[in-house]
Amino acid sequence: MANTGSFALSCRCRTSLTFSSLCNFKFFHPFPVRFADSFPSRINASTQSSIKYFASSSISSANDTFTWDDVLRVSPSPDDSSDLRGYFEKVQLCNRGSELQSEFLPFFIEGQIVGYIHNGFADRLRSFTDVFVFPKDSSYGGRLSHYVTLHPMLGTPEDRTSAVGDVVKSLGEEWIPGIRNELYPVTSSFGAPVFFSLERAAAPYFGIKAYGVHMNGYVERDGHKYLWIGKRSELKPTYPGMLDHLVAGGLPHGIACGDNLVKECEEEAGIPRYVSVKATAVGAVSYMDIDGYTYKRDVLFCYDLKLPESFEPKNEDGEVEGFKLFPVTQVADVIRKTQFFKPNCSLVIIDFLFRHGYISPEYLGYLELLRSLRI
Amino acid sequence: MANTGSFALSCRCRTSLTFSSLCNFKFFHPFPVRFADSFPSRINASTQSSIKYFASSSISSANDTFTWDDVLRVSPSPDDSSDLRGYFEKVQLCNRGSELQSEFLPFFIEGQIVGYIHNGFADRLRSFTDVFVFPKDSSYGGRLSHYVTLHPMLGTPEDRTSAVGDVVKSLGEEWIPGIRNELYPVTSSFGAPVFFSLERAAAPYFGIKAYGVHMNGYVERDGHKYLWIGKRSELKPTYPGMLDHLVAGGLPHGIACGDNLVKECEEEAGIPRYVSVKATAVGAVSYMDIDGYTYKRDVLFCYDLKLPESFEPKNEDGEVEGFKLFPVTQVADVIRKTQFFKPNCSLVIIDFLFRHGYISPEYLGYLELLRSLRI
């Protein structure tokens, strides 16, 4: 495939982007609307002249498979390194559908919002009357519910886990594809008490917050930094063949971030514990993505690990096709100009680029891009 | 003075904090209210048990002067390093008065919001009828204005700068104390066209966004990191005698962040250009603080500079009493347990602690604290 040279994107994510839609991308703004002076309004209103800073970029689609050679062919562009548009596009790919929030019902447990369920998916849950209830629903089978909650008889985490698990099994692959038999904790926020545990594949159908650990493994040589990049196995059910971090994984129930990272380091890249314990927690990125009945609310804890030049990663679980070491500047160009990376990895790498000085405050859109990494 | 051991704070910032007020601190949340599951609600609702994680901390007030010896006496507390409460307090000290936003009128130029002006201060501006206008004001002298703008005759940045500058001079020290004869650009957002320039001391009275550069200068020795800390001169008009970064300064009109940093490095710490150009841009923090008629909306661009062990800072402009090198862990304790630091420096140091792995995802409140650094 290689570079298409076309700016219109048609990707795995089923999103079609144009320059216009990009400029109209509404970040979730942390201030009441009347106070907002966000990026899109600046672009759309009196400062059209600023648009000249966003030089047209060459974008590659990831519709088809690609090889390491395609990655290597992404040409460095010293002239347009200040053009942040390619990064904004990647943030947007992880934050689709904010205008569709009204199609979702809040999912409450013990007075706390733990998720959001699409009206259409909620209809599937209505027949499980001993598990899900829809208070204030004056028309059973209709869509007047104000929220969803669990049946009051399900008073303990164990009861809830079992009952909801049975529903997930009953709905099966037709409604919840990719069941992994891996449980995620359901809480009101990270570290809060666990109300119950839910099959990982079902999390986005219930709009549950999901957490992961992503690690940038890098090497420093003669004052220049290089990132180890993985390429996912073509056999993986999700994002086959796409580029990935050296190490990344979901955070299952009952394991701390740091411990999970050490485990993933061993399984995914053959990094022994005495090396991986030196990984540094450096922050987090987050995104909210609505696609059909799913509402992803993901938080990725970010880690950096500086590796010795002699290090060679070795995948142990068959999920990675191979690893290669690239100059950080080339990784930045791959992020900006292609869709080769698994979308959420882009956010973690953009965060790395910010923290390591590869994106400069002088670049137009710096603050807006920085803010867009955490919603 | 040294540690008071009291948790109730009475500080330069004229804010009294209690544990209750801390838990009720409302961060500006990036999502509509019905979607919010922010830190305060978690603490106040069903998870009271979580509060046990917030062990009581020993807090020092900065009412009076203090010495380096007082700083050195802040005892390390290995048992409570996971207690983030002291950091939340410092974020709160920079983000006061969000409940008072309704007392401010938006300040528009060319259809863009550039600031917010308190009703009371706006009353002072009403007599300058050839400079400020108050559209939709049906009761001249009353408070029915919907917004403030400049007189349409002031069509160029130069005209506006001159006219508003004359008003600022006319109001004088009584209304705008600390005039510095240093101009800040007035824009709708960073990097956007400059509508006019405004005296730095007047910026918070007009609710103009102000930008600064703050640099953490650090040394690495035997795998441990140390931060260079400055102590402001007792003669400085603002925050005299308080702890500060190695280098920090406001960003005046017409100078790029990186260039300004190099200039401040030279003036404030005697760091030559060939060293300071190696400083790395690592992100930004921001806060919004309402106090009386002032509405600060500050953004601080953060930089890290790794210095050689042999480096000794030397103040060139008389604004710094002295510098000392402290282990990062002790600086963290000083931030948590005292109010010795100039308040906004705390945010930049907390950001440093996040990026360098001194705050762990396992600590309760990690994500909320991380989010609170950028509003």
A318-355, pLDDT tens digit by residue? Answer: 889 999 999 999 999 999 999 999 999 999 999 999 99
Angle between helical axes of A85-93 and A343-355 (0-180°, round to 10):
140
Closest to B60 measured CA to CA, from B371, B360, B333, B370: B333
Specify the pairing of strand B294-306 against strand B209-221. Answer: parallel
Least confident of A41-45, A251-255, B149-153, B221-225: A41-45
Cα B248 to Cα B87, B190, B270, B289, B304: the distances in Å are: 20, 18, 13, 19, 12
Closest to A122 measured CA to CA, from A319, A293, A297, A327: A293
Asked if the model's pLDDT at residue B358 lies above 70, the reply is yes
Instruction: Please indicate if any CB of chain B lies within 8 Å of the CB of A360.
Output: yes
pLDDT (mean) for B347-375: 96
Cα B94 to Cα A97, A153, A229, B11, B285: the distances in Å are: 34, 46, 40, 12, 11
Instruction: Please indicate if any CB of chain B lies within 8 Å of the CB of A367.
Output: yes
- Residue A156, both tokens: 């303990």
- Cα-to-chain-centroid distance, residue B345: 7
Instruction: Please indicate if any CB of chain B lies within 8 Å of the CB of A48.
Output: no
Instruction: Please indicate if any CB of chain A lies within 8 Å of the CB of B366.
Output: yes
Nearest CA in chain A to B282: A355
Contact, B188 vs A37, CB < 8 A? yes
CB contact residues (below 8 A), chain A span 126-185, against chain B: none
CB contact under 8 A, B258 and A362: yes
Burial of B221 (0-12, 13-18, 19+ CB in 10 A): exposed
Model confidence at A144, in pLDDT bands (50, 70, 90)? Answer: low
* Mean pLDDT of all residues belonging to chain B: 83
* Mean pLDDT of all residues belonging to chain A: 83
- Alpha helical stretches, state H, A106-244: 119-125, 157-175
Contact, A294 vs A177, CB < 8 A? no
Q: Reading across the β-sheet that carries B132-133, which strands appear in turn?
A: B112-118, B104-109, B148-150, B132-133
Asked if the model's pLDDT at residue B292 lies above 80, the reply is yes
Residue A335 gets the label, from left (phi > 0), alpha (psi -120 to 50) or beta, of alpha
Model confidence at A45, in pLDDT bands (50, 70, 90)? Answer: very low
Instruction: Please indicate if any CB of chain A lies within 8 Å of the CB of B11.
Output: no
As a whole number of angstroms, the distance between CA B42 and CA B40 comes to 5
CB contact under 8 A, A257 and B361: yes
Neighboring chain B residues of A26 at a CB cutoff of 8 Å: none
A268-326, pLDDT tens digit by residue? Answer: 999 999 999 999 999 999 999 999 999 999 999 999 999 999 999 998 888 899 999 99
The pTM score is 0.84
Rounded to two decimals, the ipTM of the complex is: 0.83
Neighboring chain A residues of B109 at a CB cutoff of 8 Å: none
CB contact residues (below 8 A), chain A span 284-303, against chain B: 284, 299, 301
Neighboring chain A residues of B28 at a CB cutoff of 8 Å: 30-31
Model confidence at A225, in pLDDT bands (50, 70, 90)? Answer: very high
CB contact residues (below 8 A), chain A span 203-222, against chain B: none
Instruction: Give A84→chain B minimum CA distance, Å.
Output: 13
Residues 6+ apart with CB under 8 A from A180: A199, A200, A201
In one-letter notation, the amino acid at residue B144 is L
Contact, B75 vs B7, CB < 8 A? no
Model confidence at B80, in pLDDT bands (50, 70, 90)? Answer: confident
Nearest CA in chain A to B223: A278
Instruction: Please indicate if any CB of chain A lies within 8 Å of the CB of B33.
Output: no
**Residue B87: in which H helix or E strand, if any?**
helix B85-94
In one-letter notation, the amino acid at residue B38 is S
Q: At which residue do the structure tokens 């303990």 appear?
A: A156
As a whole number of angstroms, the distance between CA B273 and CA B262 comes to 6
Nearest CA in chain A to B146: A34
Instruction: Please indicate if any CB of chain A lies within 8 Å of the CB of B31.
Output: yes
Instruction: Please indicate if any CB of chain A lies within 8 Å of the CB of B263.
Output: no
Nearest CA in chain A to B191: A364
Neighboring chain B residues of A49 at a CB cutoff of 8 Å: 193
Angle between helical axes of B328-337 and B85-94 (0-180°, round to 10):
70
In one-letter notation, the amino acid at residue A159 is D
Nearest CA in chain B to A193: B47
* Facing residue for A355 by CB, picked from B30, B50, B283: B283
Number of residues assigned to chain A: 375
pLDDT score recorded for residue B299: 97
3-state secondary structure of B159: helix
As a whole number of angstroms, the distance between CA B4 and CA A365 comes to 45
Model confidence at B136, in pLDDT bands (50, 70, 90)? Answer: confident
- Residue B92, both tokens: 């709160």
As a whole number of angstroms, the distance between CA B208 and CA B36 comes to 28
Burial B331-343 (b: 16+ CB within 10 A, else e): bbbbbbbbbbbbb
**Residue A141: in which H helix or E strand, if any?**
none
As a whole number of angstroms, the distance between CA A60 and CA B312 comes to 50
Neighboring chain B residues of A191 at a CB cutoff of 8 Å: 50, 364-366
Instruction: Please indicate if any CB of chain A lies within 8 Å of the CB of B48.
Output: no
Angle between helical axes of A328-337 and A343-355 (0-180°, round to 10):
140
Instruction: Give A203→chain B minimum CA distance, Å.
Output: 17
Neighboring chain B residues of A361 at a CB cutoff of 8 Å: 256-258, 281, 284, 301
Model confidence at B89, in pLDDT bands (50, 70, 90)? Answer: very high
Instruction: Give B221→chain A minimum CA distance, Å.
Output: 16
A164-218, pLDDT tens digit by residue? Answer: 999 999 999 999 998 888 899 999 999 899 999 999 999 999 999 999 999 999 9
